[in-house]
Structure formats: structure tokens, C-alpha cells
Amino acid sequence: MRWLFRSPPRPGTGTHSRGLFALGQCLPFALALLVIGIEFSPAHFLYTGPVLTATPALAAVTMGPKGTIAAAAVATAVSVCTATYNQAWGSQQVYTNFLALFLVSAASITTSSAVRARQKHELDQVRRIATAAQEVVLRPVPDRLGPLRAASMYLAAEKGAQIGGDLYEAVQTRYGVRLLVGDVRGKGLPAVRAAAAVLGAFREAAHYERDLAEVMDHCMASLRRERAVPGAFAEESLVEGFVTALVAQVPDEPVVDVVNRGHPPPLVLHQGEARMLMPASPQPPLGLEDVVIGLSEAETFPLAPGDRLLLYTDGVIEGRNRDDAFFPLAQAVEAVHPDTTPQEFLDHLHQELLRHTGGSLADDVAMLLVDRSEDAGRHIEAVAD
């Protein structure tokens, strides 16, 4: 499974960058304090006018218009205080300093406002593109797939993100309803490219390959071709570029066929009791075929009328609370009211997951749920007769 192949965390630079950014925001106000210290000390003979003039310009680099206005106001107040303390009113140099401070402040506020407006426009454009990409790569599944009701949900861990390395799909074929859920090891554009490659292969092979294992093989071959593109995984090592994936097939018979390539096992809710569909022998994730040898075939498990099948990524079961305890998925599933629709079911799990983690997800989350309707149960009985 994926956690068996997890690599050690890299030393990140996010905290360091945030610290430098916060330091830059404090610098204009620190300069104002420095000027006050100089003016009220024996070193007051030093000329501090240019230091205060530079204060709003420095604020415009790291803060928005409001921060720049605040820095300009502080610099003006310090100038007034120092001019009063030094009894320098009437000096041409004082008025020259005020004029320079006013001009620099006005230019800094205008520039900061223009930059903020441009950044907002660019961010809105990126979000529109991300939304369009999500509709292509991770489109919502239909509410109905033949005899099955279905629902899907994707939650990005990063605030403002629309799509990442988690993937899912559900299609109705002549062999039954076929499902896919997967998780790319990695972040950024390489993860999105890998997810798109696996999804594209599944959407094509699911309709013409009778053997479910062959469908998975097509996904594996597509990922290999994507990895062979120069620069496609330039930032990923062999282990880090893999994809955990699981394909399932729900035919007319009361069973579900599963091929699991290193992914968390699906869960079946049968008469209020949740059970994991554990593979008889673990298989390596896609992309690790050269690391781990020994692949197995599809496995068959019971799926009676009225049962619910939940496919998910490890962002669900690895959600932690303040006590560092994992999210109890089986208990949460068993607690959902049996009369809920698939979408209501996933919404309930979503709320329970957020409650468990305190509203902060450490990893992206994808969930896919299907269940057999009453009509499906009667159809299965008719086929058996």
C-alpha cells in the first residue's frame, strides 16, 4: 500500500519563506522606531529624513494598500513629532522632507493598489482555468449509473486549490459499472499530468476490455508513456512518481470485482456493518513495477442488493485529530443513516472528517460511492431464476 512506499519528508522552505515575508512587513515600522530612537538620543544630529521617506516605499513591497497607508501615516506622525521636539518648524529642510514623504507615499499607495488589482485579476483567471480543468479531469459522476446510484466528492487540502493528484471516475459499460480511484505521489503539475494520463486510459479501456486487470494494465502503460516524456517528472524520483490506483467492477451479479494496486482497500457497508475488502496479496502501485515484483489478478467480493461501496483516497483515513488519532472511517460510515442518498452520505462523511481534523486537511481527499437500488435487487433475482 502507499504508506509502505512513503519517502521521508523533505525539508520544506514554506515556514522559512513566511518568516522572511513577516520580517519584511515589520521593516518599515522598525525604521520608524529607529528614527525615533536616533532623534531622542545624543545622536540626534544625524539626518534621518531619507529613512522616513523610504518607509512607505518599503511597505509597498510586502504589504497591500492598507499596509502602505499605515506605514505612510506612521512616518508622517514621526516626522511631526521629531520636528516639534527639535523646534525645527519654519526650516526649509522640514518642509522639503514632508513634500518628499507625501510624494513617495502617494506613489507607493498607487503602485501597491495597481499591483494588488493585477494580482487579483491573475488569481481569478487561474481559478477559472483550474475550475475548467477540474471539469475535464475530475468531472462529477452521474447520479445514476444503470442499476446503481452514485456520488463523488473531491476536497483539496491546499486552500484555493481546485485539483491535485487524487483522481476518480465511474462509467457504465457493457460489462457493468466500472469505477476508478487513485492517488498520485507528488504535487503540482507533474501530479496533474499523471492523474490525467491514468484517467484518460481508464475512460477508454473500460469500454472495450473485458478483463478488469487489462483495464488496469492500460492505466499502467499510459503512466509509463507519460513518465517517458522528457521533463514530465523532472522533480520526481522513481519512488515519488508512483500512483496508487484501484479499479472496481459492479456487474449484474451480486458481486464486485476489484484490482488494487497499492491503494487503500474499498469499504462495503452491508446491513449497517462496514468491512474492508482487503486484497489477498498486496500489489505494487503503478510506476513501481520494477521495484516490487509479483502482480495478482482481480479479486471478487460479495456486494448484495442494498449494500454500499465506498472508494476513497488515503487523505480520508490519514486525517488526524489533536490527539494524533486517525479518522475512524468504518465507525463514521456505520453511523450514517441508511435512508440517506449517496450524496448525503458523502456530505455526512465530509462533515465528520472536518470535525475530526478540526477543519484542516493534511492531504487531498477523493471519495466515490455507489449503491444498489431496490430495482437492482429484483433484477438480480430475476437473472438468478
Structure confidence by residue, pLDDT tens digits, 163-179:
567 899 999 999 999 99
- What pLDDT is attached to residue 219? 92
Place of cell 499502467: 220
Considering 39-43, 80-84, 187-191, 261-265, the range whose residues carry the highest mean pLDDT is: 261-265
pLDDT score of 63 more than 70: yes
Grid cell in block for residue 363: 492531504
Per-residue model confidence (pLDDT) at position 251: 95
- What cell does 373 get? 437500488
For range 344-373, the mean pLDDT = 90
Confidence (pLDDT) at 384? 45
pLDDT digit string, tens, across residues 215-235: 999 999 999 888 777 655 544
Among left, alpha and beta (phi > 0; psi -120 to 50; other), residue 228 is alpha
Residue 383, pLDDT > 70, answer no
- pLDDT greater than 50 at residue 275: yes
pTM: 0.67
pLDDT band at residue 295 under the 50/70/90 scheme: low
The ranges of the chain annotated as CATH 3.60.40.10 are: 139-384
Q: 328 or 120: whose pLDDT is higher?
A: 328
Closest among 162, 103, 112, 114 to 137, alpha carbons compared: 162
The CB density around residue 66, as the number of other CB atoms within 10 Å, is: 13
pLDDT value, residue 254: 94
Length of the chain: 385
Q: Three cell numbers at 82?
A: 521629531
CATH architecture of structural domain 139-384: 4-Layer Sandwich (3.60)
